[in-house]
Structure 1
Amino acid sequence: MYTVVIVEDDPIITELNRRYAEKDGRFTVTRTFSAPRQALDWLTRHPTDLVILDFYMPQMNGLELLRSIRAAGVASDVIMITAANDAATVEALTRLGIVDYLVKPFAYERFCRALEEFCRRRAAMRAGSLDQSALDSLMHAAPPAPLPKGMQAQTQERVLACLRADPARRHTCEAIAEASGLSVVTVRRYMSYLAQQGMVAGDMDYGTGGRPCLVYRLIK
């Protein structure tokens, strides 16, 4: 499981980002900070996988904090969340190695894409060695393909959130429907699409004692 630290001076946004992150079962928020200097002190002593960082804060802004983090040798990946989108700021943050940049206000599915990209990069790095194709994919990520007509990104994320909450489990469409509040017919459509995209795998379960049923698991 990946550890996350949130640095944000607005408690409402802090809680929203916490909920967004922890909907994905691969992440756990270990600490939140409203004061950048306290965050810097903690991060230098506690290895952390991912920092979700606001730009506009008292004491020092996100760029100043990120510079201090890097100067202290902290290698945590950083997702910057801010209303600052001028070219000079974006360039400075990019040079300091942020993995994504979300401009407020952003949609939940865009936040999920940032987490997915982080996981994709971490998984690639764990491979040990990368061929040219893998490097090209890592360095030049393609934008997500548009969903088929009649399907919505928000609904897809609700389905995926149920799978991520327990990634080792094999899920039936009925169980996902109950957990997500969607109809079984809707869930079946999205699971079929996700299987086509290689995001989930479907298997027949013959151990039910009755009629075999199709179960799905998340492909990491």
Structure 2
Amino acid sequence: MDGPLEVLIVEDDQRIAEINRRFTERVEGFTVAGTAHNGEEAREWLEVLQPQLVLLDIYLPDMKGIDLIWHIRRYYKNTDIILITAAGETDVVQEAMRGGVIDYIVKPIAFDRFRRSLDNYRDYRRQLERSDRMDQGQIDRLWTRANEGAASMLSKDPELMPKGIDPITLKKVTEVFEEAGEGGLTAEEVGKEIGASRSTARRYLEYLVSCQSLKADVSYGAVGRPERRYFSQGN
């Protein structure tokens, strides 16, 4: 990676924009190339700078940040986006993920969370630049890292969980996998561990798979019956 990654900050609140600028400059490998306070300014900066990364707020005075995401995806395919916003609606999170946003930070911003996001992004860029071809293991690790921000928030924030997913039960399910071996677990096995039915356990397991906190595979038992097994992303 030659030189620091250029960052465009898009934030209508000048005080928060300044915080974002100071935070960015405290993280190794990044430089703030410009700041826009509305969508029109952001489009102008994008055309001139074509930065590697945009730190974007959803609420802008002249357009929705989601519209700017799709503008970037259409015209600046080499530019990545991290959302920094007070918006926590599930539909906003989902559309951001569909638009390829690589992380989603909810205001008020904690520097440790901000730094972790930029560190992950910098490492992600470096991995992409190391070789012209990747094997399955490298792709899996890269894909997990690239998507862990928004998916992690979606899986853990009670305000964003869909109906039927209880935060306490979800925590029990995730704790089961802290002790699980490389062979993974079935929904029935997880249900026994948390004191719930197989169908309940499966609902939580599939939710965690959708959030990329777990992965799933199909195996065949002694009698040839297929069963779905779940694994932590580290296995």
**TMscore range, shorter length:** 0.5 to 0.7
Measure, in 1, the Cα distance between the counterparts of 2:84 and 2:129. Answer: 26
Match of 1:136 in 2: 140
Q: Distance in 2 between matches of 1:26 and 1:139?
A: 21
8 Å contact from structure 1 (residues 44, 72) kept in 2: no
| Structure 2 CA distance for aligned equivalents of residues 138 and 74 of structure 1 | 18
Deviation at 1:74, TM superposition (A): 4.3
Per-residue CA distance 1:65-108 (angstroms, 9 max, x = gap): 11122222443110001111122111111111111000112311
The match for 1:113 is: 116
Counterpart for residue 58 of structure 1: 61
For structure 2, the 5+ residue unaligned runs are 149-235
Q: SS at the partner of 1:4?
A: strand
Question: Could you say if the C-alpha distance between residues 4 and 73 of structure 1 is closer, same or farther in structure 2, counting changes exceeding 3 Å?
Answer: closer
2:34 corresponding residue in structure 1: 31
Counterpart of 1:81?
Answer: 84
The RMSD of aligned alpha carbons is 1.6
Cα distance in 1 between the residues matched to 2:134 and 2:127 = 8
Residues 204-219 of structure 1: pairs in structure 2 closer than 5 A: none
The answer to whether residue 74 in structure 2 is matched with residue 71 in structure 1 is yes
Identity of aligned residues (%): 38
Q: Which amino acid aligns with 2:6?
A: T
CA distance in 2: counterparts of 1:89 and 1:31, whole angstroms: 25
Q: Deviations over 1:1-45 (max 9, x none)?
A: 110000000011001000000012311101001021121122123
| TM-score computed with the length of structure 2 as normaliser | 0.58
Q: Conserved in 1, the CA contact under 8 Å of 2:50 and 2:76?
A: no
The answer (yes or no) to whether the contact 1:44–1:69 under 8 Å persists in 2 is no
Separation in structure 2 between the aligned mates of residue 135 and residue 74 of structure 1, nearest angstrom: 20
> For the residues of structure 1 that align with 2:73 and 2:143, how far apart are their CA atoms?
21
- Assess if the C-alpha contact under 8 Å between 1:121 and 1:138 holds in 2: yes
The unaligned stretches of length 5 or more in structure 1 are: 144-220
Specify which structure has the higher proportion of helix.
2
Number of the residue aligned with 1:14: 17
The one-letter amino acid paired with 2:136 is Q
Alpha-carbon displacement from aligned partner over 1:90-133 (angstroms, at most 9, x marks no partner): 11111111110001123110001110111121011102222222
CA shift for structure 1 position 55: 0.8
